[in-house]
Structures are given as C-alpha cells and as structure tokens.
C-alpha cells in the first residue's frame, strides 16, 4: 500500500494530543519532538510500501493540526525496507513520510513545510508523492500543488576564541564563540556539551544572532561547542563539528583564599586543580612543560606562577600562587603618654605579602596586654584598618602596653609596645 492510498483511512482511531513542548516516543522507536503550542492527532498504525521493490514498513500516522513536529528515526543499516516510518498529514492535503534520520514538519495558517535534514523523506500535495532527498526543504503554500524547494541551511563555521579558561574565586569568565558562514541563516543555535564519564551531556543552548556570542560562564570541566544554522522558518541544518572548550578551576585548602588575581597559600598548602586532566604545566618562565599535576603549591615557600595549556598548543592560562603571609603595621599613640591623664589609641593596618591592603573578609586576632595581663578593648574595623582605644590602668605605674596581631591560624603578623608613665612619675614614657 502506498502513502497515497493510506491517507484516506488514517484518521479512524485518532486521539487528540495538545501537549506542546514535549517529547513522545512511538512504537517502533521513532521520537516526536513537539514544539510549544503544537496540536497533533495520533491515528492508527499502517503498513506501507515506501519504495519500489521494498517490503511493507510499519508506519505511525500523525495528523499535524498546527505547529511543528521534529521526527527522529534511527537510520536503518543498508536495507531497502526501513524499520519504521512516520506519516505526517498536514492541512490542505499536504503530507510527508519520514523514513529515517531527522525530519521536520511545520503547519501554519497557509503553509506546510517539510524538511529532510538528515535522511530521506517522501512528500506530497494530494496524491502526488515524490521523494524528498536529504538536505532539501519543500514548502506547499495554500492549495498550490507546485511546491517551493530550497536546501536546508548549511553547516556553519565555528571558532572558540579562548578554548582554555581559568575560573577562580568570583571570576568566572564567559567563553566567546564566533559562528557564521551560512547565507540563509536567520540565526544560529549553539549547543554546549559537558563531557562526563557517562558521555556527552547538554549543558545549555544559546541563540547566536551576531558574529560573536558569549555563551556565559561555566563550572570547571571539559566541554564541546557545536552550532547549526536556522533559517527564517525555523528549519535548521546539520550540526557543525564539535570544538573543544575547557574551564580549569581550583579547590583551595583550608586557610587559602583568592585575592587580587592570585591564590594566597600557607607554606605547605596545596591547591587541587579541577578540570585539568590531560593538560601540560610549566612554572614561572620555564619553557619546559610536563603533565599537569593534580595539586600545586608554592615554590620552596615563595611565589610562583603555574602555566597550563593543552598539549600541542601555545594558548595558556596562568595560576598565580603567593604566600599567605599577613603583615600588620601596629601603631600605639601618643608616644609620650601618662596614665590616667592619657588614653592610648591603637591603629593596625593589614597588608598581604605583596604589600597590598587585604579585604575586610580576612580574619585576624588582636590582643592587648598591660604588663602581662590581657585587657579587653573594643575594636572597630574599616577595610584593612583596625582601631581601638586602651583605657588607663589603675595604680602608680609605669606600665608596658603590648599589642600583638596574629592571623586566623595563629601565625604572628605584627606587634608593637609602649612604656606608659604614671602620674607621679618623672619619667617620660617611650617605646
């Protein structure tokens, strides 16, 4: 039985399905992807002869009331008879049969569009069935039996401007992708795939409507980017070859932090590299590269730069490692003080190993002692500056006032002391 003979009786057992934006797997393995708002009716299954000399093929029948249906059918090995097929009947007696690969059917107010993106089809207005080879789009306008025909959009050119990115702290750079080269493209659809142990997983889709598109920041890992051109009717062509993209991140040990473009580490701290498997590494200005290690640290306790690249390439990302050392500049004033007449002001300025002011997120501990007794004071902090006032002690004096600052791990950062005279002492207090 030919598709033409089947068309008249295919609507007998139809069931309305209005759930647009869904995926439906049919008996036999064909998969329908329904665009949002699409309306179809499923009719009873038929057995059709889809080519000269071929056997009957079990064919699912879909009445496309309106909207868009994408059909995926696994391509059969070299055989004259497809394993399964899908007959799609659109309004105004336009029909198509998807026999394998990826096919598209669109029905709107005055058109029926059938596209054989990857795999052959049959298409007809009324009973005039003709082959629709892979790579062609056939459009029936109104009841005009003569269709319009043009190729599906071609395969676009794709370039990932920076295929190796570094994501540390709050800096998660977006990858920039250039895509183009297809004249009939209205826009391009970029697909970002994450390479996982279980295979390739779709991370996101991005519509590209200019020469370059930012696909956004991504967590550390290995990715591939593909693109396909989409014309004004929504018909897309074949997907481009995948282009590699890798994002390298880091897992910091306790006490380490990322500041001003570098990772601040304790003397024996190690940074675990994330997403760096298979990369090459070098250190400082060395031209010698080795397989990237799983963790990196300071070079004999000093600053270093780890450079990473894909084997066989010259594009690099750099990981700066700095000692976590905290320096506290402690000042107690006035330098000539007597108690109880004077109150002492303490100022503590905090800097990192490079002499740059640390952020107010860096924790420190400041201790005040008068002689050997700890004294509680109220500290205020603004950025990298701690301030406090030390009240006068009781007694005759003199006293030695000490201020000691340590980092959050107890390592010394800075100190100062001042000798304070009593009221009846003839001595002038000095450091």
Say yes or no: 358 and 336 in one domain: yes
Say yes or no: 374 and 289 in one domain: no
pLDDT at 80: 59
Residue 234 domain-assigned?
A: yes
pLDDT at 78: 64
What range defines the domain where residue 40 resides?
A: 3-151
Say yes or no: 35 and 87 in one domain: yes
Instruction: Report yes or no: 383 and 396 within 8 Å, Cβ to Cβ.
Output: no
pLDDT at 20: 54
Spell out the residues 6+ positions from residue 8 whose beta carbon is closer than 8 angstroms to its own. none
Residue 66 domain-assigned?
A: yes
Say yes or no: 235 and 269 in one domain: no
Say yes or no: 28 and 107 in one domain: yes
Q: Which residues pair with 67 in a beta bridge?
A: 107
pLDDT at 7: 43
User: Count of alpha carbons within 13 Å of 347, Cβ hemisphere only?
Assistant: 7
Say yes or no: 331 and 355 in one domain: yes
Say yes or no: 146 and 10 in one domain: yes
Helix (H) or strand (E) holding 3: helix 3-6
The token pair at 274 is 């994330």
DSSP string of 143-201, one letter each residue: T-SS-EEEEPP-PPEEEES-SEEE-BTTB-PEEEEEEE--TT-SEEEEEEEEEETTEEE
Q: Which residues pair with 130 in a beta bridge?
A: 123
Residue 159 domain-assigned?
A: no
CATH number of the domain enclosing 356:
2.60.40.10
Q: Which residues pair with 270 in a beta bridge?
A: none
Say yes or no: 39 and 146 in one domain: yes
Boundary (domain end) residue, out of 264, 290, 323: 323
Reported pTM: 0.73
User: Count of alpha carbons within 13 Å of 395, Cβ hemisphere only?
Assistant: 10
pLDDT at 428: 47
Average pLDDT of adjacent 10-residue blocks, the chain of 431 residues: 46 48 90 94 92 85 96 77 90 94 94 94 93 95 87 96 88 86 94 92 92 89 96 94 95 86 87 95 94 93 93 93 91 93 94 86 92 94 95 90 91 93 64 49
The domain total for the chain is: 4
Say yes or no: 193 and 283 in one domain: no
What is the spatial distance between Cα 107 and Cα 89, in angstroms, rounded to a whole number? 10
Say yes or no: 256 and 202 in one domain: no
Q: Which residues pair with 174 in a beta bridge?
A: 217
The token pair at 35 is 């665009």
Say yes or no: 17 and 129 in one domain: yes
């Amino acid at each position: 039985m030919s598709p033409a003979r089947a068309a008249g009786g295919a609507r007998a057992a139809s069931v309305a399905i209005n759930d647009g934006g869904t995926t439906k797997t049919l008996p036999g393995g064909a998969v329908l992807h329904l665009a949002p708002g699409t309306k179809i009716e499923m009719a009873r299954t038929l057995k059709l002869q889809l080519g000269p000399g071929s056997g009957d093929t079990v064919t699912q029948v879909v009445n496309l009331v309106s909207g868009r249906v994408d059909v995926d059918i696994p391509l059969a090995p070299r055989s004259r008879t497809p394993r399964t097929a899908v007959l799609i009947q659109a309004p105004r007696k336009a029909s198509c049969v998807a026999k394998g690969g990826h096919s598209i059917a669109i029905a709107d107010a005055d058109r029926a569009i059938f596209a054989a993106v990857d795999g052959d089809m049959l298409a007809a207005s009324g009973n005039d069935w003709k082959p629709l080879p892979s790579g062609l789009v056939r459009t029936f306008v109104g009841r005009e039996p003569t269709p319009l025909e043009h190729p599906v959009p071609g395969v676009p050119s794709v370039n990932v401007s920076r295929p190796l990115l570094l994501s540390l702290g709050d800096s998660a750079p977006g990858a920039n992708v250039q895509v183009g080269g297809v004249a009939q493209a209205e826009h391009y659809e970029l697909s970002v795939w994450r390479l996982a142990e279980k295979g390739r997983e779709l991370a996101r889709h991005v519509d590209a409507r200019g020469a370059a598109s930012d696909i956004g920041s991504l967590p550390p890992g290995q990715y591939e980017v593909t693109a396909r051109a989409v014309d004004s009717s929504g018909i897309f062509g074949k997907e481009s070859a995948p282009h590699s993209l890798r994002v390298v991140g880091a897992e910091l040990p306790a006490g380490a932090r990322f500041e001003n473009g570098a990772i601040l580490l304790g003397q024996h701290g190690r940074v675990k590299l994330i997403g760096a498997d298979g990369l090459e590494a070098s250190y400082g200005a060395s031209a010698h590269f080795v397989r990237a290690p799983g963790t990196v640290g300071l070079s004999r306790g000093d600053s270093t730069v780890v450079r990473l690249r894909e084997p066989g390439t010259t594009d690099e990302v750099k990981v700066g490692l700095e000692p976590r050392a905290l320096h506290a500049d402690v000042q107690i004033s006035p330098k000539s003080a007597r108690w109880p007449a004077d109150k002492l002001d303490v100022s503590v300025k905090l800097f990192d190993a490079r002499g740059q002011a640390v952020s107010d997120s860096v924790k420190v501990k400041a201790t005040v002692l008068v002689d050997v007794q700890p004294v509680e004071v109220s500290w205020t902090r603004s950025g990298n500056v701690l301030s406090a006032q030390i009240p006068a002690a009781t007694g005759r004096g003199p006293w030695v006032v000490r201020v000691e600052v340590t980092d959050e791990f107890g390592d010394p950062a800075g100190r100062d002391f001042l000798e304070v005279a009593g009221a009846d002492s003839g001595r002038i207090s000095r450091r």
